[in-house]
Structure 1
């Protein structure tokens, strides 16, 4: 018993001594002022394809200027230029984007054929479908008939048993009434 207490005391002293982890002195250094920086990157979904960019420059006094660009769902390049300072974040969407080149005559005709085919397929899929119910094979038909025959036999047996029990109940009731 004495060895167990000594072992417990030694383990508890080791496990509970966390004084070396606690900081007893305060930090006396002030964090350094922000430093100027600049960065930029361009990225894409696969090699050789760029669909987003970002660049930013800070003067080290808390003022930041930058811009980012991305390709929107309409395949137009959108650019946002921004400034961040002590008064907040100020984005400006550049709406004067260069127009995409117009389609050539053959590309326009190919697009038209594509849209016509697409619409024809869409119309075919919108029309009501004729519901085709599969026919039972001979084996399935015979199995269903066996099932229905067994079901009717079991239902008849259950009805017969229920009638027999009711008759027994009534007979025992009449017998008990005759005794009293």
Structure 2
């Protein structure tokens, strides 16, 4: 019987009377000596320590830097037209800019914009067909494009007749 004691009874040895003694069986392997609850507690404690160490990395101080003032501009020209863009930020969160698109067929769009604590606001100046001078949301449209009927009259000579 592994791991248990048993009583061994020998009454005589070499003519001498011997009292009953406890005899032990072979020792239990180490893996079987540790009870399951103790091993589980050790694993839980180890896991908790790992979690505490890992959580400390998430509480590192976050460095917040103030916005840095900046400005940029560029211009691009090709056979199909040109594109320019300029923008600046004042370091307090206010951004202003303007971009212009000019196509070879004469269409032009210029957008001037501001983004700050009051939101994004834009002013669009264009001569593109299908646009009207209206002000949806915080956008101002100034269109010099002909209205639908004016465009139809202007393009009458180009109309395909069947």
* Structure with the higher fraction of residues in helix conformation: 1
**TM above 0.5, one fold?**
no
Normalising to structure 2: TM-score of the pair? 0.40
- Structure with the largest fraction of strand: 2
User: What TM-score do you get using the length of structure 1 for normalisation?
Assistant: 0.37
Report 1 or 2 for greater relative contact order, CA contacts < 8 Å, sequence distance ≥ 6.
2
